[in-house]
Amino acid sequence: MKIIDYLIPLGEGARKRHYHESEKGGLVDFVVQLEVFVDGRWATVIRYDSAHGFPHIDRYYRDGRKRKKSLHLEFDEALVLADEDIRENWKKYQRAFLEGK
């Protein structure tokens, strides 16, 4: 099994966490999430993952709410989408989280 795990600072109190496992060339597990430093801690804002056996996205709100949406994609497609979405939209997600939207 091959594991890739890293953090990328995005600036302005934000970072992307990337983790994935592959076995025999196929992706078996992944997590890609945007984290924002707020109230003295790192808080998850958006998380793409394969927990529960299917790709989905969880959106977290500052007041503690969470919304889950299934992604009808293969694991590898969801991983690419996650990396691209967070890279392109992290500022928008950070702003909405901090504003309570």
- Model-level pTM? 0.92
Spatial CB neighbours of 88, under 8 Å, sequence gap ≥ 6: none
CA distance 41 to 73: 32
| CB-based contact 5:22 (threshold 8 Å) | no
What is the pLDDT, as a whole number, of residue 25? Answer: 83
**pLDDT interval class at 7 (50, 70, 90):** very high
- pLDDT per residue as tens digits for the range 69-87: 999 999 999 999 999 999 9
For β-strands 14-23 and 26-38, DSSP reports them as: antiparallel
